[in-house]
Amino acid sequence: MILLLDTHVLLWWLADDPTLSQTIRAAISNGKNLVFVSAATAWEMAIKSALGKLDIPDDLQAALTANRFQPLPITIPHALAVADLPHHHNDPFDRLLIAQAKVEGLTLVTRDEQIKKYDVPIMEA
């Protein structure tokens, strides 16, 4: 399975938050699964951290590497795919994650009810 973590899922994982379901914990920790974190997620976290709305690890890159998460850069096809999405909501970071999941054939791990309205594979976090 190839997973793409939504921002809240990554934060729950890094904090060992019990909010994250056991099913998702098992999927993320399964070495047979490839787990991606988007540059959009790091961007969202950096913005919210700078605004004082979120605490993030001092070295997010090291935390991602330690958890064997793969980086997913933002490409032109990802950005252009956002235009093809229906307007179920306006969160630009979520819309980019959805577009990346569609373009790359990834399963998006989220608990966001708005994201579930899109035609993209989802695993409930």
Dist. CA 111–CA 114, nearest whole Å: 9
Dist. CA 15–CA 18, nearest whole Å: 9
Cα diameter, the chain: 37
> Domain total for the chain?
1
Q: Above 90 in pLDDT, residue 61?
A: yes
Q: Above 90 in pLDDT, residue 89?
A: no
Provide the CATH number for the domain around residue 11: 3.40.50.1010
What is this structure's pTM? 0.95
Query: How high is the pLDDT of residue 70?
Result: 98
The label of the residue with tokens 């979120």 reads: 54
- What number is the average pLDDT over the span 49-57? 93
Q: State which residues form the domain around 87.
A: 2-124
Residue 54: pLDDT band with limits 50, 70, 90: very high
